[in-house]
Amino acid sequence: MLENSEAETRYQALVSKFRAREYRITPQRLAILRLLAESTDHPSAGRIYQELCDRFPTMSLATVYKTLAVLKEMGEVLELSLGEGENRYDGHNAVPHPHLICTRCGKILDSDVVLDQDVIATAAKASGFKILSHRLDLYGVCPECQKAESGE
């Protein structure tokens, strides 16, 4: 979970962006936006649905996908496709940033390191590419899984 005020600020920003585009705001949608604003572990659409379906029995998985698609179109969510399993989503920071991925439990966390923009500029210059995006995934075993494995 994010620090309360930070999550609240992000939630309000997402809501006003939805309003500005005149997308229909339903209680389900608000709950999805809030969950995305508060999550730090990059939930999948399926997990968002699971976490909210008790509170909103009429909500469908399609509602979650539609809301994510709208956010994507507005550039307000970062989608991480992992090749296998469901895509994961970062709703509080849509600008590309490094991620730590646990290969045991599948947890995805933000890494605090800032990717050196010089590296990207150098790669662009050397290749002639106009760089549009980038992605840095650091794979490993999270502290919790390390603990579980060492039998503590």
Interface residues with Mn ion (CB under 5 A) are: 90, 110
Nearest residue to 92 via CA among 4, 26, 25, 6: 6
3-state secondary structure of 110: strand
Site membership for Zn ion, residue 104 (CB under 5 A): yes
Report the alpha-carbon distance of residue 65 to residue 49 in Å, rounded.
9
Q: Closest separation between CB of residue 99 and Mn ion, Å?
A: 5
The item of Mn ion, Zn ion, none sharing an interface with residue 104, based on CB under 5 to 8 Å by kind, is Zn ion
Evaluated on CA atoms 65, 50, 146, 40, the torsion sign reads positive
Site membership for Zn ion, residue 142 (CB under 5 A): yes
- Please identify, using beta-carbon distances, which residue of 8 and 79 lies nearer to Mn ion: 79
Q: Which residues bind Zn ion (CB under 5 A)?
A: 102, 104-105, 107, 142, 145
